[in-house]
Amino acid sequence: MSQLATENTSNGRTILVCCGTGCQASGSLEVLASLRGLLAGEAGTAVRASTKSTGCNGLCEKGPLVKILPDDITYCQVAAEDVPDIVDGLRDGTPVQRLLYRDPVTRQRYRSHRETSFYKKQHKIALRNIGEIDPGDIRDYLDRGGYRALRTALSMTPAQVIGEVLASGLRGRGGGGFPTGRKWQSCAAADNAPRYVICNGDEGDPGAFMDRSIMEGDPHTVLEGMIICAHAVGASSGFIYVRDEYDLAVVNLHQAIRDARAAGFLGDRILGSDLSFDIEIVRGGGAFVCGEETALIASIEGHPGEPRDKYVFPAVKGLWGRPTVINNVETWANVPVIIDGGAAGFAEIGTAGSKGTKVFSLVGKVVSTGLVEVPMGATLREIVFDIGGGVPRGRSFKAVQTGGPSGGCIPGSLLDLAVDFDSLAAAGSMMGSGGLIVMDDRTCMVEVARYYVNFLAGESCGKCTPCREGISLLLETLTGITGGRGSIADLDLLESLSATVRAASLCALGRTAPNPVLSTLKYFRDEYLAHICDHRCPAGVCRELTEFYIDAGLCTGCGLCRRKCPAEAVSGEKKQPHAIDAARCIRCGECINNCRFQAVRIR
Amino acid sequence: MAIEPQQAAAQRPMEQIVRRYPPEQRYLLAIMQDLQKEFNYLPREALGLTAAHVRVPLGKVYSMATFYKAFSLTPRGRVSLRACDGTACHIKRSQVIIDELRKCLGIQPGETTADGEFSLETVNCLGACAIAPVLVANHKVHAKVTAAAVREIIKSYGGRVDEPVGN
């Protein structure tokens, strides 16, 4: 089988077109079609290249991305019109300069993405194959050592496999950070059968998309991790619970399962061993709380996804009351690497309490947005500034939000924090699934807290009162403050409500819901006070408390804000200072975001 | 609730969808998702057929239909507009996009225009954070959307938009 794959690529070049969700939105399918069309003709015989569609490369912002091997050329923001030039470049061996990656800070162009500051500092384990393989072709996965770990695991006893995972120090990447090996151990020890293995692909944290990227771009690694676990704990069936919104992930996982069955990695007596195991896909119904493991289990059983109290862990009593291992997508992607390369190598990476790497989705007000995988213990500064290139448009960094809606905001003073499970918790936030949302001076921290609490109020399943009523009241209070109706007493109310919700809620959704409020109150209290006492939103976000004006001394009359304004609220003659009509202004901020002279101000 | 003629005609495909799955409660979610995809909402008839098939009370199916966001009990529009309000989109001002959609279409998120053409929803994250803010029209993802782009997108699906934007 691997021979076939070699045949496919050995006699020429391979052109990899990124077809992750981000690149598809920017038109990568058109690029691929255009490439295939051109290569089918006379040009094809001259350059002898085959094409592949790959999963997400992480640098979605610069998409569509096209990589050429073995030349190791990476092109960014490729349009279908660029395809003839790319093919011509292959003919005479000179890369198309204008399409090469340009460093946003130094403006230098790079031939290969590997040389760029965005990729150079990354350490890829979970994302090792993504962007390098066609996720729809099992041969690509096999060529990169895929399913080798499964063979190794099958030659070990279940206890040895669990021992290896324990020794690696792998902790759950979905947010909880629970040691994976211990989960497996309790499941294997539970005297009850059948046992189940579940992959939690209900990636609900807004702002995080590493699981989508792995399921889309390297589905077999998830399957392999689950099959290894099935051997270790003695499970007979597995489920992948994936968000229905992730169309492409669902398609690619189905394909991968079919191919794995055909190749003998799933089904009866896998690779001639005693292990019989199969996996089916369950599509989620769009409820955030289903990311909580007991709610997810309820959902697979065909119930509304309401959590239960975990007096007994799912590892002992999970799906249909049976022992169940449930791990997150990224956790599964690490398992084959641990078994294949050994626990010791894995445990060398990272910090004392958190081993290996973590994938972050670096988004928000940062120059290079996308997925980054770094060793545990990398500092926020390295991630945001060295890899991400800092805050765009010369604005100033304010905070970075980690851990999803129930995480917290970390201020600039803690930029040198070495990121791992424990350090983030100590700073009042959490690792969560790895969303890293950068905020600049145009982000209002009160509004951010309101946003998260609004999200959680909508997603609270309503089963327990502290979460259902407490979060609603937090939301009402925060909405009052952002609407200019806040009072000083509200701050005490927020704190005491938060304490109650945290102490009395049934599941992690409620228990962590006050985090965004408490962390912003802790680090950005002055913004709350500005809203309440001065009736102004310093970031110019809260509409009721914002008025934009143009500083005539700074305005050059370039007219950019006038053209960008969707409400026709800006007027002025060319090269004369412009003015904003406050009555027409819808406070969308297009003017201030686009002004290159800092002439648009917030009153 | 009276059965309308088109509902009776639709019953056959409904039954086919329901019967694709074994009569077990664990397939409830999958059956309902397929029905939602086929009809763009969950018709009353379909809920009854589903309940009978997996042998659970109708109330159970209703509780699923109202719990999960993917389901709608009223018909959705021909063009489904889903504006992402995930964190990355939010801090890149997706609220401006949502406000613009509300103004142009004259409906709130969760509603459908009277002519059945457009329905508007906000979603919590589409995982396309690097190209925020994002708007999905039917299954097409539009990247880095602005208020002006919203009007163009609506027009491209045959909607009418009055210029310019006002309060």
Cα Rg of chain A (Å, integer) = 26
Would you say domain A2-116 falls under CATH 3.20.20.70? no
Least-confidence region, from A48-57, A128-137, A184-193: A48-57
- Tell me the Cα Rg of chain B: 18
For the segment B146-150, the average pLDDT, to the nearest whole number, is: 88
A113 or A5, which is more confident: A113
Q: Which residues of B touch A462 (CB under 8 A)?
A: none
CA distances from B16 to B21, B35, B36, B89 (A): 9, 10, 14, 39
Report pLDDT for B7.
Answer: 52
CB contact under 8 A, A303 and B27: no
Closest residue in chain B to residue A25, using alpha carbons only: B141
For chain A, say whether B24 makes contact (Cβ under 8 Å).
yes
pLDDT at position A10 over 50: no
Per-residue pLDDT band at B3 (split at 50, 70, 90): very low
> Is the CB of residue B10 less than 8 Å away from at least one CB of chain A?
no
State the residue for tokens 């990899």.
Answer: A16
Measured between beta carbons, the chain B residues lying within 8 angstroms of A59 are: 130
Q: Does B128 touch chain A (CB under 8 A)?
A: yes
Q: Say if residues A26 and B143 touch (Cβ distance below 8 Å).
A: yes
pLDDT band at B11 (very low <50, low <70, confident <90, very high): low
Our CA-based measurement puts residue B26 at a distance from the nearest CA of chain A, in whole angstroms, of: 4
B30, B64, B87 ranked by CB distance to A401: nearest: B87
Q: Does A544 touch chain B (CB under 8 A)?
A: no
| Residue B148 contacts residue B103 (beta carbons within 8 Å) | no
What span, in angstroms and rounded, lies between the C-alpha atoms of A266 and A253?
13
Q: Which residues pair with A66 in a beta bridge?
A: A17, A75
Closest-approach residue (CA) in chain A for B100: A566
pLDDT for A51: 92
Judge whether residue B12 has pLDDT over 90.
no
**What does the alpha-carbon distance between residue A435 and residue B130 come to, in Å, rounded to a whole number?**
12
Q: Which residues contact B140 (CB under 8 A, 6 or more apart)?
A: none
Whole-number pLDDT of residue B164: 54
Residue holding tokens 């690097």?
Answer: B130
Residue B54 near residue A302, CB atoms below 8 Å: yes
Taking alpha carbons only, the member of B99, B138, B87, B60 closest to residue A361 is: B87
In this structure, CATH architecture of domain A547-602? 2-Layer Sandwich (3.30)
Candidates A566, A580, A561; CA nearest to B166 is: A566
Are the CB atoms for B56 and B28 separated by under 8 Å? yes
* CATH code for the structural domain at B79-156: 3.40.30.10
Identify which of B25, B30, B92 has the shortest CB distance to residue A283: B30
Contact A245 B139 (CB under 8 A): no
The mean pLDDT of chain B is 86
- Whether B22 and chain A come into contact, CB under 8 Å, resolves to no
Residue A64 in tokens = 């569509």
CA distance A229 to A211: 19
The pLDDT > 70 percentage for chain A reads: 98
Test B69 with A287 for CB contact under 8 angstroms: yes
> Is the model more confident about A182 or about A120?
A182
Residues of A with Cβ-Cβ distance to B131 under 8 angstroms: 22, 25-26, 60-61, 63
Contact B91 A203 (CB under 8 A): no
* Element containing residue A468 per DSSP (H, E): helix A465-482
How high is the pLDDT of residue A568? Answer: 86
Most confident of A6-10, A102-106, B35-39: B35-39
Interface contact flag, B68 A285, Cβ < 8 Å = yes
Q: What is the mean pLDDT of residues A473-502?
A: 96
CA A293/CA A299 separation, integer angstroms: 10
pLDDT of residue A23: 87
pLDDT of residue B167: 41
Distance CA(A367)–CA(A58), nearest Å, equals 14
Q: Has residue B166 got a pLDDT over 70?
A: no
- What is the C-alpha to C-alpha distance for residues A141 and A118, in angstroms, rounded to an integer? 25
Query: Residue A167 contacts by C-beta under 8 Å, 6 or more apart in sequence?
Result: A181, A343, A344, A347
- pLDDT score, position A508: 84
pLDDT at B10: 57
User: H or E segment at A122?
Assistant: none
| pLDDT (average), residues A283-300 | 90
From chain B, the residues in CB contact with A429 under 8 A are none
Q: Can you give the pLDDT at residue A45?
A: 81
- Check A206 against B86: CB less than 8 A apart: yes
Cβ distance of B69 and A212 shorter than 8 Å: no
Quickly state the pLDDT bin for A3 (edges 50, 70, 90).
very low
List the one residue out of B148, B161, B155 whose CA is nearest residue A567. Answer: B148
A245 or A153, greater pLDDT? A153
A11 band by pLDDT with thresholds 50, 70 and 90: low
Task: Select from A234, A233, A226 the least CA-distant residue to A265.
Answer: A226
The topology under which CATH files domain A357-440 is: Ubiquitin-like (UB roll) (3.10.20)
DSSP string, A263-308: TTSSBSSGGGSS--BEEEEEE--S-GGGGSHHHHHHHHTTS-----
Greatest Cα pair distance in chain A: 81
pLDDT at A143: 95
* pLDDT (mean) for A72-100: 91
pLDDT of residue A572: 93
Q: Looking at chain B, which residues constitute the CATH 3.40.30.10 domain(s)?
A: 79-156
Measured between CB atoms, does A455 come within 8 Å of chain B? yes
Residues of chain A with CATH 3.40.50.11540: 138-346
Please compute the mean of the pLDDT values over residues A337-349 and round it to a whole number.
96
Chain A contact set for B125 (CB, 8 A): 204-209
Residue in chain A closest to B148 (alpha carbons) equals A566
- A478 in B contact zone (CB under 8 Å): no
Is A437 in Cβ contact with B87 (below 8 Å)? yes
Could you give the ipTM of this predicted complex?
A: 0.82
- For residue B164, the chain A residues in CB contact (below 8 A) are 566-568
Confidence label for A463 from pLDDT (cuts 50, 70 and 90): confident
- Could B147 and A212 be called an inter-chain contact, meaning their C-beta atoms sit closer than 8 Å? no
Give ∠ CA A158-A162-A164 in degrees, rounded to 5. 115
Measured in degrees and rounded to the nearest 5, phi and psi for residue B165 equal -75, 135
pLDDT in tens, A414-445: 999 999 999 998 888 888 888 899 999 989 99
Chain A residues lying within 8 Å of B92, measured CB to CB? 364-365
Question: Are the beta carbons of B107 and A225 closer than 8 angstroms?
Answer: no
Question: What pLDDT score does B9 carry?
Answer: 54
Contact A493, A281 (CB under 8 A): no
C-beta atoms of A207 and B129 within 8 A: yes
Q: Does B164 touch chain A (CB under 8 A)?
A: yes
Distance separating alpha carbons of residues A194 and A353, to the nearest angstrom: 33
Read off the pLDDT band of A1 (50, 70, 90): very low
Smallest CA–CA distance, residue A588 to chain B, in Å, is: 6
Which B positions 41-80 lie with beta carbon below 8 A of chain A?
54, 63-64, 67-71
With 80 as the cut, is the pLDDT of residue B121 above it? yes
Averaged confidence pLDDT in chain A: 91
Residue A285 contacts B where some CB pair is shorter than 8 Å: yes
User: Could you say which of B69, B70, B130 has the minimum Cβ distance to residue A60?
Assistant: B130
Question: Does the pLDDT of residue A104 top 70, yes or no?
Answer: yes
Query: Under a CB-based contact definition with an 8 Å cutoff, are residues A304 and A262 in contact?
Result: no
Under a CB-based contact definition with an 8 Å cutoff, are residues B83 and B94 in contact?
yes
Return the pLDDT at A7. Answer: 40
pLDDT for A260 equals: 98
Chain A from 303 to 362: CB within 8 A of any B CB = 303-305, 361
A41-55, A321-335, A378-392: least confidently modelled range: A41-55
Q: Is A551 on the interface with B (CB under 8 A)?
A: no
Give the distance from residue A368's alpha carbon to the nearest chain B alpha carbon, in angstroms: 8
A445-533: what CATH class?
Answer: mainly alpha
Amino acid at A76: C
The average pLDDT across A253-282 equals 97
For chain A, give every residue range classified as CATH 3.40.30.10.
2-116
pLDDT at position A380: 95
Per-residue pLDDT tens digits for B76-109 = 888 999 999 888 888 888 988 999 999 999 999 9
Amino acid at A542: C
DSSP-assigned states of every residue in A470-511:
HHHHHHHHHHHHHTT---THHHHHHHHHHHHHHHH-SSHHHH
Domain A138-346 annotated CATH 3.40.50.11540: yes
Cα separation, A231 vs A154, whole angstroms = 7
| Averaged pLDDT, A138-147 | 96
Query: Does the pLDDT of residue B1 top 70, yes or no?
Result: no
